[in-house]
Amino acid sequence: MTSTAIPAAPVAGPASAGTYRRSVITAPSQIEFEDVAIPQPGPRQVLVRVAAAALCTWEQRVYTGVDNWSYPLVGGHEFAGEVVAVGAGVVQPGVAANAGPVAAASTTSATTSTR
C-alpha cells in the first residue's frame, strides 16, 4: 500500500463570519478551497461543527484519479464534531446520527440527519 501526500495549499485566512471553508477535489491531485454559507438545519437535521474528518477509500481513489468520473467532489462524510444547532423534531442530537451522501461541489448542505 502506498500513500500520497497532499501538498500544503495556501489558504488565505479564516472563512468569514457566517461561512465555513471546505475542500473540493476538482481533478486528479487537485484540491481547491471554497468559502460557503453555513446552512440552517432543516427538520430532523443537526448542524455539526467538524473537528476532524477522514477520507474513505473511494475519496482517495477520486483524489488519485483512479475513479475519475466524480469531479468536482466534496468529501469528508467520515467526521466527528460538535452539534451547534438543531432543526425541528430533533430530540437527542448526536444519537443515531449519520452524514448524508458525499456531496457534489454545487451542494452547500453541511447538515446531518438524526432520529
CATH of 19-113, one of 3.50.50.60, 3.40.1500.10, 3.90.180.10, 1.10.150.120: 3.90.180.10
Three-state DSSP class for residue 59: helix
Average pLDDT, integer, range 47-54:
88
pLDDT-derived band at 78, boundaries 50, 70, 90 = confident
- Alpha carbon of 81 to those of 36, 49, 52, 53, 55: distances in Å? 18, 5, 7, 9, 15
Average pLDDT, integer, range 37-62:
90
Domain boundaries along the sequence of the chain: 19-113
* Predicted local distance difference test score (pLDDT) of residue 54: 87
Euclidean distance between CA atoms 97 and 90, whole angstroms:
11
* Predicted local distance difference test score (pLDDT) of residue 16: 76
